[in-house]
Amino acid sequence: MNLTKLQIDALNNCVKCSICVNSCPVASVNPQFPGPKQLGVDWLRLAQEEQSQPIPAVDYCSNCKTCEAVCPSGVHVGTLNQLAKSNLPQRSLGMREEIFSDPSLLGRFIHIWPQAGNMATGLRPVKFLTEKTVGISSQAPMPAYSMKTFREMLLKYKPEFSEIPKEVVYFPGCFTQYNQPEIGMSLVKILAKLNYKVIVPDFKCCGQPAISNARLDKTKKFAEHNLDILRQELKDGRELIFSCPSCLLTFKEEYKNILGLQEYSAFTSSMQDSGQFLLNHREQLAALLRMKNAESAKYAYHEPCHLRVAGQGTPGLVLLKSLMGLDITPLEAGCCGMAGSYGLKAEKEWVSREIGNNVKDAVTNLNPQAVITECGMCSVQVNALTELPVKHPLEVLAEQIKA
């Protein structure tokens, strides 16, 4: 096996301190999962001698990447796990991985008749059947599908600009596209006020779900398609913004680290979280905000793992807290356990739910009116765990923008 630079560095740098094992949410609840150190670094080193196959338990890794954020030695240990995972022999439940590895597929399909789709994914007998046939859990919360896609809504939206607008490219991601277009629309509306025209090219899925489902071939296809778009669109100093932290992380990091697509390096400095983009315009934004509400609601903030790992701080939280003066408390309870499609899988649903207990307990202790988080699948999980409304910071912000 020829190692990539990332793998060699991992072997060089890991001091086996086990801090990653301690922080791994899956290892905490599931003893079948030995931990990032063992599956990532230890295995890789031993495999050089014995040419052995990855440990099958690596399939339990949710790619939340908590391990990478805590490692004191800069080891990309979560990424090692994804690489190992993709070397596992193909599993029998290929159909499910096929479905999950491209959410846009299901999105486009259900979109033909969303009510039926939502009903079907909610119906008990259908759920039972999908669990038995394709291995999708009947217990897990299913994201609901929107009646209109983001693209449809965007087409209808015609903002008026007082001067010639600046342009910014936006990657909405599948969740915004098919499940919660309001996130994207909130962003578009806020940006219009800041005199930005939002360009949404015909991107494909970022490919993060395909990575977690060990379908690197798919990710690669998406990445190459998306790269072509970036080459065309990111000129004249245009920036690319994201509302979904996982999509952001995938563009910034995974394409390079997992697929080896070095070409992305040229664009990474133009990519950022939409919250950060807005923060850069904080003065203008402040002027757009309505007077602060007198009766203030209490919010909790859940920090998505991939946002943490992307190394951009929590700009959404800063916006709501320091700009809007919202009463919002960080939960700091770790991973919610959903990790994209992870928590939807029959054999992993319990792992996901147990991990989520931390978040659930923290929310119970705080007793907020709503929870705020950037990640779509986190919001599905947190909503299922707490039965509270869960919103994207952009949605909350948009509500406060003057008409």
Partner 1 sequence: MMVVNKTKVMVIGGGTTGVGIIRDLALRGIDAVLVEQQDLAHGASFRFHGLLHSGARYAVNDFSAAKECIEENIILKKIASTCINNSGGLFVQHKTDRDEYIGEWLRGCSEAGIEVKEVSIQNVLNENPAMSRDLKRIYSVPDGIIDGARLVWANVYQAMEYGARVLTYTKLSGIYTANGKVTGAEVINTLTGQKSNWECETIINAAGTWADEVAKLTGIELNVTKNKGTLLVFNQRLTQKVVNRLRIPDDGDIIVPHHTVTILGTTSVNTDEPDSAKPTSGEVQILLDAGRELFPEIDNYRLLRAYAGVRPLYAGNGEVKDDDGRDISRDFRIFDHAHNGLNGFISLIGGKLTTYRMIAEKTVNYVCKTMGIKKKCQTAEIPLVDSKRLLTMDGKVNKFAVRYGIRGEMIQKYLQQNPEKEITLCECEDISFAEVEEVASWKSTNNLDDLRRKTRIGMGTCQGLYCSFRSLGSAWNAMKNKPQHPLRQLVCFLEKRYKGQKSVLWEAQIKECELTLGIYSTIFNLERVEENSEV
Partner 2 sequence: MKYDVVVIGSGMSGMIAAAKAVSRNKNTLIITKGQGILPLTTGCIDIWGYQVNNPKAPALNPYEEIQRLAACKPEHPYARVLDVLPESIDFLKKILKNSGYSLTGSIYSNQKVLTALGTERVTALAPESMVVKDFARLKRIIAVGFNRYPDFFPQMFLDNLNTIIPQAAKIPVLIDLDIKETVRSNHLSLLLERQDILAKVEEQIRVQLLQHGIENKHYDDSMLIVLPAVLGKNPGSQVAKRLRSNFNTQVIGVPGLPPSIPGEHLQQALMIFLKRQGVEFRHNSEVVGDIRENGKITYLSVKDSTAIFHSVEAGSVILAAGSFIGGGLTAKQDSMLEPIFKLPVINPRHVGEDVPFLSLEGQGFLEAGVEVDDKLRPLKGIDNLYAAGSILAHGNYASEKSGLGIAVATGYKAGSLA
- Chain Cα centroid distance, residue 244: 5
252 binds partner 2 (CB under 8 A): yes
75 binds ligand SF4 (CB under 6 A): yes
268 binds partner 2 (CB under 8 A): yes
Number of residues binding to ligand SF4, judged by CB under 6 A: 25
17 binds partner 1 (CB under 8 A): yes
Binding residue (CB under 8 A) for partner 1 from 22, 32, 46, 161: 46
**CA end-to-end distance (rounded Å), the chain:** 60
Burial class (CB in 10 A: 0-12, 13-18, 19+), 32: exposed
Q: What are phi and psi of 21, to 5 degrees?
A: -65, -40
Distance in Å, CB of 377 to ligand SF4, minimum: 14
Other CB atoms closer than 10 Å to residue 202's CB: what's the count?
A: 8
132 binds partner 1 (CB under 8 A): no
Which of 348, 331, 351, 340 is closest to 380 using CA atoms?
A: 340
Binding residue (CB under 6 A) for ligand SF4 from 65, 308, 348, 360: 65
20 binds ligand SF4 (CB under 6 A): yes
Please tell me the chain's helix, strand, coil percentages from 3-state DSSP, rounded to the nearest 5: 55, 10, 35
Which of 273, 270, 178, 172 is closest to 230 using CA atoms?
A: 270
Nearer to partner 1, 44 or 326 (CB): 44
Query: HSE of 297 in the Cβ direction (CA atoms, 13 Å)?
Result: 12
Other CB atoms closer than 10 Å to residue 287's CB: what's the count?
A: 9
Q: What are phi and psi of 221, to 5 degrees?
A: -60, -50
333 binds ligand SF4 (CB under 6 A): no
Nearer to partner 1, 48 or 296 (CB): 48
| Interaction pattern, residues 294-323, with partner 2; x per rule: CB under 8 A | --------------xxxxxxx---x--xx-
Give the C-alpha separation, 314 to 301, whole Å: 10
245 binds partner 2 (CB under 8 A): no
| Interaction pattern, residues 72-101, with partner 2; x per rule: CB under 8 A | xxx---------------------------
Tokens of 201: 């090219």
Sign of CA dihedral 47, 85, 378, 253: positive
Count H helices, E strands: the chain?
26, 8
- Three-state DSSP class for 73? coil
Q: How far apart, in Å, are the Cα atoms of 62 and each of 65, 160, 272?
A: 8, 43, 24
Distance in Å, CB of 330 to partner 2, minimum: 4
Nearer to partner 2, 253 or 349 (CB): 253
Which range in 12-20, 78-86, 226-234, 329-337 contacts partner 1 by CB under 8 A? 12-20
Binding residue (CB under 8 A) for partner 1 from 13, 195, 270, 329: 13
Q: What are phi and psi of 317, to 5 degrees?
A: -65, -40
| Interaction pattern, residues 330-369, with partner 2; x per rule: CB under 8 A | x-x-------------------------------------
Nearer to partner 1, 38 or 274 (CB): 38
CA dihedral 337, 273, 188, 371 (to 10 degrees): 40
Binding residue (CB under 6 A) for ligand SF4 from 29, 55, 67, 140: 67
Structural contact between residues 335 and 307, judged by C-beta atoms closer than 8 angstroms: no
Which range in 18-26, 176-184, 232-240, 338-346 contacts partner 2 by CB under 8 A? 18-26
48 binds partner 1 (CB under 8 A): yes
155 binds partner 1 (CB under 8 A): no
Binding site for partner 1 (CB under 8 A): 2, 8, 11-17, 37-38, 42, 45-46, 48-49, 73
Binding site for ligand SF4 (CB under 6 A): 14-20, 24, 26, 36-37, 41, 61-67, 71, 73, 75, 77-78, 81
Binding site for partner 2 (CB under 8 A): 15, 17-19, 21-24, 27-32, 34-35, 68-74, 249, 252-253, 256, 265, 268-269, 279, 282, 308-314, 318, 321-322, 329-330, 332
